[in-house]
Amino acid sequence: MKYFGHQPLDALVTALSTGATRGQKNVRLPRTAQNCAILDILSSYGLIHGWSEHKKDLCVDLRYVHGRPALRAIRRVSKSQKRVYMRARQLDQGSPYWNLNILSTDQGILAHTDAWVSNLGGEHLLEVNGSLS
């Protein structure tokens, strides 16, 4: 399996965005602890159906609502050339599903709402736009 980019997070962003755009039912990603944690968050928010492990890969089942992808856009914010950090007070507690930020904190990978509740800041990894309607 060939992945895009040098980092597994780049492969996750590329695979999910192109898979949703092309209308694929599932996509494959490299298996890393970080990717597993991010997929758990996306699954808990209902933006993907779920995921499973296959040898060295992860198989992600994409979700569609009325023929349109639930995962509308996913963008990497913090990159190896430029790290972006968010403090706990910069996080918005009540952002709806369509504006989900994923952070890497001292307590692991968290959605911005969970980081806000725990009063944690961290590296701003991803910005996800989705819709459940």
pLDDT tens string 55-87: 889 999 999 999 899 998 999 998 888 999 988
pLDDT score for 5: 53
Is the residue at 96 inside a domain? yes
Q: What CA dihedral angle connects 92, 90, 84 and 30, to 10 degrees?
A: -30
pTM score, whole prediction: 0.88
What DSSP element (H or E) covers 54? strand 48-54
Q: What is the DSSP letter of 28?
A: E
Mean pLDDT across 94-113: 82
Is the residue at 44 inside a domain? yes
Q: Which of 102, 92, 93, 105 is nearest to 125 (CA)?
A: 102
Q: How many CB atoms lie within 10 A of CB 94?
A: 6
Angle at 45 between CA 129 and CA 47, to 5 degrees: 55
Going by pLDDT thresholds of 50, 70 and 90, the confidence category of residue 97 is very low
Domain boundaries, position 32 = 8-130
Is the residue at 125 inside a domain? yes
- Please give the Cα distance from 39 to 45 (Å, whole number): 10
Is the residue at 14 inside a domain? yes
Is the residue at 1 inside a domain? no
Is the residue at 3 inside a domain? no
pLDDT score for 36: 94
Is the residue at 81 inside a domain? yes
More confident residue, 53 or 94: 53
Domains contained in the chain, number? 1
The domain that holds 80 is classified in CATH as: 3.30.1490.10
Q: Per-residue pLDDT tens for 104-115?
A: 999 999 998 899
pLDDT of residue 100 exceeding 50 = yes
